[in-house]
Copies of this chain bind each other. A is one copy, B any other.
Amino acid sequence: MSETKWLSADERNAWVKLTAVLELLPAALDLQLSRDEGLTHFEYFTLAMLSEAPKRMLRTSALAARTNATLPRLSRVVTRLEGAGLVERSPCAEDRRATNVALTEGGWQKVVAAAPGHVAAVRRLVIDSLTPAQVENLSEILTVVVKQLDPDGRMLASDS
Binding site for B on A (CB under 8 A): 4-7, 10-11, 13-26, 28, 45, 67-68, 115-116, 119-120, 122-127, 129-130, 132, 134-150, 155-156
- Asked whether, in the complex, the Cβ of A24 is within 8 Å of the Cβ of B150, the reply is yes
27 contacts between A and B (CB under 8 A): A4-B115, A4-B120, A7-B127, A15-B122, A15-B127, A16-B156, A17-B138, A17-B145, A17-B146, A18-B138, A20-B142, A20-B150, A22-B22, A23-B67, A23-B68, A24-B150, A25-B149, A28-B149, A124-B148, A125-B148, A129-B147, A130-B145, A134-B137, A134-B140, A134-B144, A137-B138, A137-B141
For the residues of A in contact with B, the DSSP-based class is helix
